[in-house]
Structure 1
Amino acid sequence: MSKPLKVAVLGFWHVHAGDYSRQAQAHPGTELVGVWDDDVALGQAGAEQFGVPFTQDLDGLLSEVDAVVITTPTNEHRDIMVKAANAGKHIFTEKLLAPTVAEAEEILAAADGNGVKVVVSLPRLAHGYTQAISDVIASGELGQLTYARVRLSHDGAVSRDGVEGWLPQRFFDQKAAIGGALTDLGCHPVYLVQLFLGTQPDSVSAIYRSVNGRGLEDNAVVTIGYPDQKIGVIEAGFTSRNPFTIEIFGTEGSLTYTDAGNILQVGDRQLPVPDHNQDPFGQWVDHINNGTRADDNLSRAVELTRLVVAANEAAEVGRTIPYAGL
């Protein structure tokens, strides 16, 4: 067996940095060897938690590793990833890939030009219910699809007894985060609706609200319309803890899924939900070792970026806008 890949975590800004650090330590093909962060306090705390060195010397750390996990502020993704790619380091990154489609494409061009393997963390594509729902859609049982709704929410922005919610205030910094609930948690409903209905709507509308007044939206609904008259509804929030929900309707039937009990209902029957497939981190390690490119993941990451950018614009202008992906 070849030596484990030496992996560094770049940035402990995102709340999932710890999750990916644990994966790097647990996966037999990787070894977590260091942490860099331009926020010294965050970086040192993360390094101490996982028992690895912290450094402020990014160039020096890149010279010592094979691969990096990027969990910096979203607005820093382009600069950090292009630097890592030009240094020949494989990249696993938290979504969004970048704040704009142009930056996302620049990152991937730098990676492809340097033989770097990139995977974006889009974990629900690997979940068992996603595969089961995709199989039902492919079977034609629902007929012509007309509507899909995906809702994902947690209570990270909710204050209780004078204590601010557990989601860090930095997640509500417009410059660093780019957007709030839709741009972060809402990415998962976005790429699932795109998977079920397609990536080419012709219109986008959005309404954002800030229930807890922390700076950016913590309650969001995005509606996308398709040329064949399908409607997709994407819901995300930091204001309530409720079951993750998928609803899909067609001319011949309907489907619902909830993670409350892991129940997939098609018409009047309940279908078994298979186990999850390999997670994105494991897929990334395999792509590195096999010399393959994560084509589907990267295509979906770019389309995810495109729709989030459009939704943020629609919310800002307060009206339905044409979708620029066409």
Structure 2
Amino acid sequence: MINVALLSKWHVHAEDYARQAENSEDLTIRLVWDEDSERGQKWAEELGVPFERDLEAVLSNPDIDAVIVSTPTNLHAEVILVAAQHKKHIFTEKVLAFSSKEVNAIFAAVEEANVQLMVSLPRLTESYYLYAQEVVDKGLLGKLTTVRCRLAHNGAVSTDEHPKGWLPEHFFNREQCGGGALIDLGAHPIYLTNRLAGDVEAVTARLQNTQSDEVDDNAVVIVEYKSGALGIIETGFLSAGSPFQLELYGTEGALLIEDDQIRIKGVHEDKKSWMEPKELPASLPMPMEQWIRVIEDGAVPAITNKDVFQLTLINQAAALSTKEGRRVELTEIK
């Protein structure tokens, strides 16, 4: 059994991770810590476990094997580095850190401590992504030329019940979040597009502050890949009813995914009509389950350090592109 401490309820997915831990036969929640003591105390009471105000006391506790980190993103590097130094396994919300330098420091600390780090990139486990990857790998679209991925919701749209939108107010705090829609919700289109198109060469972005003074709430990023493919990443907090869309275009066909509908057309199929796949690959274990299997069995996770590193790298490049109004080559990011 892996004894875990929950570190903060700041992120909207913190409760999801706690639920996954509670439902796991391999994890037991033993403690809660939160940078907001009042919030943490309440959460601990709801979960029926002790609350600890002192992070050092949590991490030095020999009964704690691992931590689940849902702190503000600006605390990730600090908290995760200390957790690694105390030889605790780490599961964390994306993004891992704000800069590639911080990401590399975390990777080095985790390797030195010989602990397992998992960043929650759940859409890499989904059957639709696995099918898209299979289509690309088999060359069913010919040479991949364009990937478009859109994920947006209405979290910043004002309603009578939520005048500032249903997202927590702190999701619009630049200091804590490091950004807005792109760094949070846009992470999913970024890591999906990266996986499908390969190594990144350059980024051109527009991060729009439509309603928020501090962070972007609507964003588009064009990614140039070394393969020659273009990635078009769209995200935002201002779109009611926006479906998830993943589109792949190649010299010999196209694959369109919109929510649960999947269609493919190509020279390897009937060129005149769209076909629906008869069967999709089985989904992979969710990130938390992969993390458990790495800790207990030494399994190789499907979510890699490269996925995690490139996610931060593109966010850095997109922020610089918007700030300076230009195309940014990845070699510029230090």
* Shared fold, TM over 0.5: yes
Q: Which AA in structure 2 matches 1:36?
A: W
In structure 1, how many angstroms separate the alpha carbons of the residues matched to 2:190 and 2:167?
A: 21
Q: Which residue of 2 aligns with 1:182?
A: 182
In structure 1, how many angstroms separate the alpha carbons of the residues matched to 2:305 and 2:205?
A: 25
In structure 2, how many angstroms separate the alpha carbons of the residues matched to 1:51 and 1:163?
A: 33
Q: Which residue of 2 aligns with 1:60?
A: 57
1:296 Cα deviation after fit: 4.7
2:8 to 6, 11, 15: 11
Q: Which residue of 1 aligns with 2:82?
A: 83
1:51 Cα deviation after fit: 2.2
CA 1:187–1:58: 2 relative to 1, 3 Å: same
Q: Which residue of 2 aligns with 1:27?
A: 24
Contact 1:118 1:294 in 2 (8 A): no
Q: CA RMSD for the aligned pairs? A: 1.6
1:297 pairs with 2:304: yes
1:197 pairs with 2:188: no
1:44 Cα deviation after fit: 2.0
Contact 2:199 2:226 in 1 (8 A): no
Percentage of pairs with the same residue: 40
1:210 Cα deviation after fit: 2.4
For residues 237-256 of structure 1, what are the structure 2 equivalents within 5 Å? 237-240=236-239, 241-256=241-256
1:197 Cα deviation after fit: 0.5
Q: Which residue of 1 aligns with 2:268?
A: none
Contact 1:180 1:217 in 2 (8 A): yes
Contact 2:203 2:327 in 1 (8 A): yes
1:227 Cα deviation after fit: 4.1
1:39 pairs with 2:39: no
Contact 1:148 1:231 in 2 (8 A): yes
1:70-107 Cα distance to aligned partner (Å, 9 max, x none): 11111111110111001010000000011111111111
1:295 Cα deviation after fit: 7.6
Q: Which AA in structure 2 matches 1:212?
A: Q
Q: Which residue of 1 aligns with 2:72?
A: 73
In structure 2, how many angstroms separate the alpha carbons of the residues matched to 1:307 and 1:227?
A: 14
What TM-score, normalized by structure 1, do the two folds share?
Answer: 0.94
Aligned to 2:304, the other structure's residue is in SS state helix
> Where does structure 2 lack aligned partners over 5 or more consecutive residues?
266-273
1:228 Cα deviation after fit: 4.4
Q: Which residue of 1 aligns with 2:208?
A: 209
Q: Which AA in structure 2 matches 1:129?
A: Y
CA 1:34–1:214: 2 relative to 1, 3 Å: farther
1:163 pairs with 2:163: yes
Aligned to 1:270, the other structure's residue is in SS state coil
In structure 1, how many angstroms separate the alpha carbons of the residues matched to 2:331 and 2:40?
A: 38
CA 1:292–1:108: 2 relative to 1, 3 Å: farther
Q: Which residue of 1 aligns with 2:286?
A: 279
CA 1:293–1:265: 2 relative to 1, 3 Å: closer
Contact 1:181 1:219 in 2 (8 A): yes
Q: Which residue of 1 aligns with 2:261?
A: 263
In structure 2, how many angstroms separate the alpha carbons of the residues matched to 1:276 and 1:41?
A: 38
Q: Which residue of 2 aligns with 1:124?
A: 123
Contact 1:25 1:31 in 2 (8 A): yes
In structure 1, how many angstroms separate the alpha carbons of the residues matched to 2:138 and 2:300?
A: 29
In structure 1, how many angstroms separate the alpha carbons of the residues matched to 2:307 and 2:54?
A: 33
Aligned to 1:55, the other structure's residue is in SS state coil
> Where does structure 1 lack aligned partners over 5 or more consecutive residues?
none
In structure 2, how many angstroms separate the alpha carbons of the residues matched to 1:258 and 1:244?
A: 6
Give the aligned length. Answer: 320
Aligned to 2:199, the other structure's residue is in SS state coil
Contact 2:67 2:90 in 1 (8 A): yes
In structure 2, how many angstroms separate the alpha carbons of the residues matched to 1:253 and 1:158?
A: 37
1:139 pairs with 2:138: yes
CA 1:132–1:112: 2 relative to 1, 3 Å: same
CA 1:293–1:89: 2 relative to 1, 3 Å: farther
Q: Which residue of 2 aligns with 1:97?
A: 96
Q: Which AA in structure 2 matches 1:159?
A: S
